[in-house]
Amino acid sequence: MTKKEMFLQLFKEFNNEDACYAILGNLQAESGLKSNNMQNTYEKRLGYNDETYTKAVNSGAYSRQKFAHDAVGYGLAQWTYWTRKQALYDYCKAKHKNIDDTETQIEFLITEIRNNSYLLKMLRYEIGIDHLTEQFMRLYERPANQSKAAIEGRVKLAKQIEKEVNFQIPEVDPDSKDNTEYYEKSDYDGKSIIDALKSIGEDSSKANRAKIALANGIENYTGKTSENTKLLKLFKEGKLKVWQE
C-alpha cells in the first residue's frame, strides 16, 4: 500500500487528518512503514531477515507460539509484547490474510485503538500533528526512548508524510448522488467557532453546533475546547460539512 492508501484507511476511521499523519509518522519511525519488518537486532540472533521470518510465519514453519513469545518487534507498529503479537497472528488468520498484509495490520491497529477509549477520543477530536504524534507515541507505541529528540524525530516524519500525501477533499460532482455540502471559507481568522459561524450568518447556538459536529464525525457534542477547535479548523479549511436534516 502507498502512504496515501494507508492514510485513507485511517481517515475512514478517525476523520481527522492530523491524527492520521501522527499515526503514520510513528509507524514510519517504528518500521519504515514496512509491514514485514522484523526488529533488526534479532536478525543475527535468530538467523532470519524480514523476508525469511515472514515466510516462515506465514507457512507455519515458525509456529504461533514462537511468533508470540520470541520478543521480536514485528510489522508496521513493531508489535512486541506476546499478547499483542498473538492477537495480531490470530486476527490475520481469522481474516485469512498473511501476517504481513498491510491493510490487515492497519485494521488490527484500529481494533487496538478502539479498546482504548481515551486514545480513541483524542485521535478523533483533537488536532495538532505535534501533539497527536507525541501522544500516540506515549499511549500506543510506548518505545523505550521517549526523549524530546525522539518525539521531534517522529513529528518531523509525520509532517513529511503530510506533504507527500497532500490530502484534499475531492471536488464534488454536481451530477453525483453525493449531496454533501460544505460551508464556504470566510475571512474569519479568530479562535472561536461561535464567532466563525456568526461571520457567515449561521446559527451558532449549541444545539446547532451539535448538529454540525455530528455531520463532521463528532458524536455526543458537549462544546468542549477540543471539539470546537476541530470544528474551527475544518471551517477555516473549507472542509466543515453542513448539517442536513
How do residues 124-152 score in pLDDT, each as one tens digit? 988 899 999 999 999 999 999 999 999 99
Between 90-99, 134-143, 165-174, the lowest mean confidence (pLDDT) is in 165-174
Other Cβ atoms within 10 Å of 43 Cβ, number: 15
Does the pLDDT value for residue 169 go beyond 70? no
What is the CA 111 to chain-centroid distance, rounded? 12
CA 71 – CA 104 distance, rounded (Å): 21
pLDDT band at 173 (very low <50, low <70, confident <90, very high): low
Does the global pTM surpass 0.85?
no
pLDDT tens readout for residues 208-242: 999 999 999 888 899 989 899 999 999 998 889 99
Residue 141's alpha-carbon distances to 3, 89, 116, in angstroms, are 19, 18, 13
> What is the DSSP annotation of 173-209?
PTTSS----BPPP-S--SS-HHHHHHHTT---SHHHH
The pLDDT score that the predictor gives to residue 15 is 87
CA angle at 137 for the pair 131 and 143, rounded to the nearest 5°:
150
Residue span(s) of the chain under CATH 1.10.530.10 come to: 3-165
Strand partners, 136: none
- Does position 172 have pLDDT exceeding 50, yes or no? no
For the 3-165 domain, the top CATH level (class) is mainly alpha
**Which residues lie below 8 Å from residue 46, measured CB to CB, with a gap of 6+?**
53, 70, 72
Residue keyed to cell 501476517? 99
